[in-house]
Chain A
Amino acid sequence: MRYLTDRKRATGLGSARSGTGHFWEQRVSSIALLILMPLFLFPLAYNMGDGYEAVHAAYSHPINATVTVAFMLTAFLHFFQGIQVVIEDYVHGRWELVLIIGTRLLSASFALIGTIAILKIFFGA
């Protein structure tokens, strides 16, 4: 330790050992969602209530498929980033760990469920 300067020991760390990384990544995903949210939500509203054939045709279009996959991945990344902060604020101890890992796995699962679904519709398998 004596060979490290104070600056060198502090750089990039902080109590979470990750510095401002989490904060920064959350801002980036939020800016991505500023673009993706209108592109995803209005076509979804347009198609909601239609029958199987119409909805299937709509989401096999390259633009809808691309936007939807991008939205699913980014939204669930941003959801996990946000819910982690909420859990860290209100829950402490063992349950904090359980909930953070649990919501992380759930977020990844639903991101995959949405993505795989759109890919199958898009490629027509």
Chain B
Amino acid sequence: MADVDRGNRPLSPHLQVYKWPLNMAMSILHRITGVALGIVTALIAIWFFALAWSPDAFAAVNGLMTSWLGWLVLLGGAVSAWFHFVNGIRHLVWDTGSHFGQKRVNRTAVIGLAVTALLTIATIWVALAV
């Protein structure tokens, strides 16, 4: 295909000419949260390793994890986890060939964001109040 002479015709429009539909943002966020989750889970693995190592090692790592920056990273991890979880369900449903219509895609995107918010609030509540 690459050797076909298409002449000097206009190229097809690329991403930047479109107004971003919600689902386009959801799609790239799925990748970004996936990468973020790998990093945060690695930090949690280190936290467990320190817990296994000694009380002093745990105090050092736990001090970083529960500093304001640590809590911020953990909050980002919780949001990422639930977003990736909920949007992953949408992907699994799409894999069966279902819910591809424009209205359904938009509706499940909004529902997905709402469920992400609810699960994140539930997680914060468990972390702080319980």
Which A residues form the contact surface with B (CB < 8 A)? 27, 30-31, 33-34, 37, 41-42, 44-46, 48-49, 52, 55-56, 59, 68, 72, 75-76, 79, 82-83, 86, 106-107, 110-111, 113-114, 116-118, 120-121
Contacts and interface: CB of A to CB of B under 8 A. Distances in A.
B119 to A, nearest CB: 8
Q: Is the interface of A mostly helix, strand, loop or mixed?
A: helix
Contact of B85 (A37, A55, A82, A121): A37
B34 interface: yes
Interface in B15-72: 31, 34-35, 37-38, 41-42, 44-46, 48-49, 51-53, 55, 58-59, 62, 65-66
Q: Is the interface of B mostly helix, strand, loop or mixed?
A: helix
B123 A59 contact: no
A83 B85 CA distance: 16
Interface of B: 31, 34-35, 37-38, 41-42, 44-46, 48-49, 51-53, 55, 58-59, 62, 65-66, 74, 78, 81, 85, 88-89, 91-92, 95, 122-124, 126-127, 130
Contacts, number: 94
A42 B85 CA distance: 14
Contacts of A111: 45
27 contacts: A30-B92, A33-B88, A34-B89, A37-B81, A41-B123, A45-B124, A45-B126, A48-B65, A52-B58, A56-B51, A72-B45, A75-B41, A76-B38, A79-B38, A82-B31, A83-B38, A86-B35, A110-B42, A111-B45, A114-B41, A114-B48, A116-B52, A117-B48, A117-B51, A120-B52, A121-B48, A121-B52
Contact of B34 (A49, A79, A117): A79
A117 B61 CA distance: 14
B58 A55 contact: yes
Contacts of B38: 76, 79, 83, 107
